[in-house]
């Protein structure tokens, strides 16, 4: 996929709110980005409010378009997720990114925008956002900096912790994915991902166990899971259950749905709604060994 230029000292990075409105200051994030030698440009949406959103749909879409079109902006980071990107994604023209690619950064609801770029063969970064930076681990912050400035990212696993199941050996493939709920919601749309020969990353927060089971069955029945080269399972946090209980953990639900396929499955990867949310370059070629 098309890789945006990595950042240099003095580059401009824009902060915008494409979904839910901000409910806390971003002073720590702005100071951090400035300390990396970047010039921070704040969009009007960071102070906007329209019901639960950071401004109405038109305002949020127009600001994203403005930053996409502005050639002086080298990266766009979403201040937070929440809900709202699905309401504006069809109002945004991403084609200027084909000639002037730039990094889009975020996670959770920002998966909608990641998928829009992945469908156009453009890389983006799944990583911490300004609203999460105050509570982020040093390792997750450092991984974001490495991704933005083009340093090699490598994550190591202890082979004794049983996080890697399925096929052994080295697997190479293009990384896709993001929030599981968002991925399922995009099935059948113009931004549905091509899962063939890809390494899929999934994470989620606040879902019921039965809903995770249903979403995994939906992906499988749609023929998506069978086409993969590998699966990386990140954080499944604040998971809820019913009475009577579902009987399986989120990780067990996922494993029982994909264990029939002959590819590696990595559990407990530090990415998602976690303090230790490591950066992942979506659309990049990765090695699982």
Q: How far apart are CA 27 and CA 43, in angstroms?
A: 15
Residue 164 has pLDDT above 90, yes or no: no
Summarised one tens digit per residue, pLDDT across range 53-104 is 999 999 999 999 999 999 999 999 999 999 999 999 999 999 999 999 999 9
**Residue 211's pLDDT is what?**
98
Tens digits of residue pLDDT in 6-17:
999 999 999 999
| Residue 182 confidence (pLDDT) above 60 | yes
pLDDT value for 33 = 98
- CA distances for 141 relative to 45, 91, 217, 246, angstroms: 24, 31, 34, 36
The second-level CATH assignment, the architecture, of 159-288 is 3-Layer(bba) Sandwich (3.50)
In angstroms, the CA 268 to CA 260 distance is 20
pTM for the full predicted model: 0.96
The confidence band for 162, taking pLDDT boundaries of 50, 70 and 90, is: very low
| CATH class of segment(s) 12-149 | alpha beta
Q: Is the pLDDT of residue 24 over 80?
A: yes
Q: How many Å is the Cα radius of gyration of the chain?
A: 18
Beta bridge partners of 281: 125
**Cα separations (Å) of 36 from 31, 49, 153?**
9, 30, 18
**Which tens digit of pLDDT belongs to each residue from 110-161?**
999 999 999 999 999 999 999 999 999 999 999 999 999 999 999 986 644 5
CATH 3.50.30.60 maps onto the chain at 159-288
At 288, is the pLDDT very low, low, confident or very high (cuts 50, 70, 90)?
confident
Judging by DSSP bridges, how do beta strands 230-237 and 124-126 pair with one another? unpaired
pLDDT higher than threshold 50 for residue 274: yes
Q: What does the pLDDT look like over 26-47, one tens digit per residue?
A: 999 999 999 999 999 999 999 9
> What pLDDT digit, counting tens, does each position of 44-63 carry?
999 999 999 999 999 999 99
All CATH 3.40.50.10740 domain ranges in the chain, comma separated:
12-149
Which residues partner with 223 through β-bridges? none
Question: Are 201 and 228 contacting, i.e. CB atoms less than 8 angstroms apart?
Answer: no
Q: Kindly state the average pLDDT of the residues 187-209.
A: 98
What pLDDT, in 10s, does the model give residues 214-238? 999 999 999 999 999 999 999 999 9
- Is the pLDDT at 163 greater than 80? The verdict is no
């Amino acid at each position: 996929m098309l890789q945006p230029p990595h950042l240099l000292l003095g580059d401009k990075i824009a902060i915008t709110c494409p979904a839910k409105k901000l409910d806390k200051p971003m002073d720590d994030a702005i100071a951090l980005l400035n300390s990396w030698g970047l010039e921070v440009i704040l969009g009007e949406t960071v102070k906007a409010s329209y019901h639960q959103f950071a401004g109405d749909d038109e305002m949020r879409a127009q600001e994203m378009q403005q930053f996409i079109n502005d050639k002086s902006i080298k990266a766009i980071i979403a201040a937070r997720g929440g809900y709202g990107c699905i309401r504006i994604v069809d109002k945004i023209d991403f084609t200027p990114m084909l000639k002037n690619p730039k990094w889009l950064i975020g996670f959770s609801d920002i998966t909608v925008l990641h998928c829009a770029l992945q469908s156009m063969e453009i890389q983006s970064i799944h990583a911490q956002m300004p609203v999460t930076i105050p509570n982020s681990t040093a390792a997750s912050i450092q991984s974001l900096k490495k991704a933005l400035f083009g340093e090699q990212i490598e994550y190591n696993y202890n082979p004794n912790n049983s996080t890697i199941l399925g096929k052994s050996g080295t697997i190479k493939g293009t990384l896709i994915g993001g929030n599981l709920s968002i991925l399922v919601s995009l099935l059948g749309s113009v931004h549905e991902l091509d899962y063939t020969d890809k390494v899929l990353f999934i994470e989620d927060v606040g879902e019921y166990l039965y809903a995770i089971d249903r979403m995994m069955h939906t992906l499988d029945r749609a023929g998506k899971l069978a086409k993969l080269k590998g699966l990386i399972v990140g954080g499944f946090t604040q998971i809820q259950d019913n009475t009577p209980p579902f009987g399986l953990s989120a990780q067990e639900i996922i494993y029982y749905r994909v264990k029939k396929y002959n590819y590696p499955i990595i559990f407990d990867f530090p990415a998602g709604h976690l303090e230790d949310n490591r950066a992942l370059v979506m659309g990049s070629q990765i090695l699982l060994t």
